Every structure is written in C-alpha cells, then in structure tokens.
Amino acid sequence: MTAPDYDVIVLGAGAAGLMCAAVAGQRGKRVLLLDHAEQVGKKILISGGGRCNFTNIHTSPDRFLSANPHFAKSALARYTSADFLALVNAYGIAHHEKTLGQLFCDGSAKQIVAMLLEECAKGSVDIRCGQPVRTVTHADGAFRVTFGGQDFIAPNLVIATGGPSIPKMGATGFAYDLARQFGLKVVEPRPALVPLTLGGDDVLFRDLSGVATPVEARAGKAAFREAALFTHKGLSGPAILQISSYWRHGEPVTIDFLPDAPQGWLTEAKHNRPRATLASVLALPDRLAQTLADRLALPGELGALTDRKLAEAEARLSRWPFHPNGTEGFAKAEVTVGGISTANLSSQTMMAKSVPGLYAVGEAVDVTGWLGGYNFQWAWASGHAAGQAL
C-alpha cells in the first residue's frame, strides 16, 4: 500500500473544518484541508450581515435541535463560547454583544476567517481549494480522496462539508452522500432558520409586506419572543426563523401579537375608552392593527361590543393561527435541521462508531442551533472535539 501522505484529510474548509484542522495540526498531525470552493469560510464571510455572529454567551445544550438532545453536551462543554471568545480576544478582534448574548465583530467577518487561517498556519495545515472532490474510497485502514486530478491518502477522514442550505454559495448534500457510502444513517434534512410562506386564507397577510412587530411565535411546544416580519411571501423575522426549525408541514404556527398585554386588557379598554374602535386600541403598527381588526369582524365602538366577544377577540389575538404552506426552502435557509445521525457517532470524538478513522463535524451532523451564534459555536465545539481526538 502507498504510504499515507497525511494523518488526516478534512473535507470542507468552513467553520468546523478550519477549527478541526487547526487543532489537529497544532497537535502535530499532518493535516490536509480540502474545499471545492475557491475561497475558505464563505459562510463565515457572509454571516451576521458581514460581521459574523461568531458565538452566543448563553450557549447551552437546550438551544440545539437533534434526534438525540444529549449528543451535543460533551463537545459544547469541552469547548465553550468563552473558549472561542478567548481566541477572538487573543487576536485582538473587537466585538460587541448585539442582543440576547449574540457576539458580533465590530469590524468584519473577514477577521474571523483570517484568525482561523492563522491558526491553521500555526499547525502547518496544507489547504487546497477550488477543485471538486471526485471520489472517496476506504481500504486497508486508509481513506483515498481524489481531489481534482490528484489522489491523497490518510488513515483519518473528517466530513466537514456542512449542509445543503444556500446552494448558490457552494453548499451541497455531499456530507450525506459520503455518510451513506460508509453505512451511516442520515436524519431527514429540512431547511431551518428559514422564512415561512403563506397561502390560502392567510394570503391577505402578504399585503402587510414590510410590517414588523414583536410577538411570541409558537409551534408545538417551542415558543420564541422576538420580532416577526410580514413579507411578500409570508412570514419572516427572528421569531419566525427560530420557530421554523421546529415547524412541521401541516402544523399551525400561532402568534401572540400582544405578548405583554395582561389578561382582560380588551374589556378594560372598553371600560376606559368605550368610543374607541378595536383597531385603535391595538398597540401594533397601524396596517397590522387594521387587518387584524377587519379579520375579527368587530366593527364600531368597543362600548357596543359584549365582554364575551371582546374576550374571544383577545384570545384570538394571543393565539392567532397561521397555516404556512411551506418554507422558502434551502435557497433561503440559514441552516439545515437533520443530517448525519448522532446515533452513529461518538459524542466525545465525533468519530463514526462503525468506521474507525471516519469523523463528522459541524452542520453535516444532526445538531442544529437556534438563531444567534449557536450554529457557529457548534461548528467550533464539534471541530475542536474531533481535532483533539485525531
């Protein structure tokens, strides 16, 4: 057999692959990092509007979706948001907390990519980009990767090619094809952190395109209190992106339009302002207030309406059911829910239980974070776990 060129080949130079390669390289491993894109870390560069929301100080396992909610605990505990922040600080990258624990660069996401490249350089990682990975085979304990016209051999292979969200940026389902090739299961991938589309009875709400308001959005047992935004296709905004990860086709998404209003506020409004109309007492953007009042079909002055009718209206405003007919799909999804089954991987090392030397990290794995820096934290933590184990 040909002598291996490297100790490990990492496929995918995104957030998880760069971290994994840097950690393994700095531990003295000979690392080859391959990517089909011309440039490393493309999603990092566009993330957070170009400022990269690189972690969240409130990271905890309950902010991640997975068929096994315990899987992420080990890696997240061993490489925390404070660890990544220490690295960012060591490079003197100025940053700020925007909201809800979300840390962003003051300057540019380019600083995060430059930092990771510097970390890779410290580990003498060999980075090659801009060629397709043609085939991956495994024989006699070695992985052979054909990249462009060249073959590379190593006893370890890390799948870090992410999920299929935003294909126009070079995202692919390659990780899943590879996983299946090696007998690993893939939990059905779905677009997540994605706008929802409205049709049928809800279609009129699309006329409110551009209107935003703070709400509480719910799907099943999940609830998020943030802004919702009406779009020309349906619903978006942080509350909706968050709930989209939990939403399943056929289920409603309910919206509390006045999450801070105390119970009975509408009957109280009737007693205080009997001549007011329903639309005028809704503390919401005018167009939205009018649309909701029209839908509730309670015209005229509040004083003329029964308390029962007002209680019903109040209940509906706090649990307004929308019936999304879909999402805007992988083209618009920030991440993918599902992926390589955690049942097939070690939560300590990220290695496949049935294929020694094969690892999977980052978004390729069935672990998906909430909006707000959690997905990068998973990429860093899982990349770090594998990098330490290699």
**Residue 103, burial from CB neighbour count under 10 angstroms (0-12, 13-18, 19+):** buried
Q: Which is nearer to ligand FDA, 291 or 368 (CB)?
A: 368
- The CB-of-256 to ligand FDA minimum distance in angstroms stands at 26
Nearest position to ligand FDA, beta carbon: 14
User: Which two structure tokens, joined as six digits, stand for 356?
Assistant: 């020694």
Q: Quick one: CA dihedral 303, 306, 311, 312, positive or negative?
A: negative
- The CB-of-212 to ligand FDA minimum distance in angstroms stands at 19
Residues that bind ligand FDA (CB under 6 A): 11-17, 35-37, 42-43, 46-48, 52-53, 133, 160-162, 165-166, 170-172, 174, 334-335, 362-364, 373-376, 379
Helix (H) or strand (E) holding 75: helix 73-78
- The CB-of-110 to ligand FDA minimum distance in angstroms stands at 14
Q: Identify any residues that bridge with 234 across adjacent strands, giving them in sequence order.
A: 197
Quick count: other Cβ atoms within 10 Å of Cβ 110? 14
The rounded distance, in Å, linking the Cα atoms of 149 and 135 is 11
- The CB-of-336 to ligand FDA minimum distance in angstroms stands at 8
Q: Which is nearer to ligand FDA, 121 or 203 (CB)?
A: 121
The dihedral over CA atoms of 204, 208, 213, 218, expressed in degrees to the nearest 10, equals: 30
- The CB-of-24 to ligand FDA minimum distance in angstroms stands at 15
- 41 three-state secondary structure: coil
The DSSP result for 215-241, as a single string, is EEEEETTEEEEEEEEE-SSEEESHHHH
Nearest residue to 348 via CA among 13, 157, 61, 77? 77
Q: Which is nearer to ligand FDA, 172 or 388 (CB)?
A: 172
User: Which two structure tokens, joined as six digits, stand for 348?
Assistant: 């300590």
- The CB-of-141 to ligand FDA minimum distance in angstroms stands at 23
Q: Identify any residues that bridge with 352 across adjacent strands, giving them in sequence order.
A: 345
Length of the chain (residues): 390
The rounded distance, in Å, linking the Cα atoms of 275 and 377 is 53
DSSP code of 125?
A: -
Q: Which is nearer to ligand FDA, 36 or 218 (CB)?
A: 36
- 327 three-state secondary structure: strand
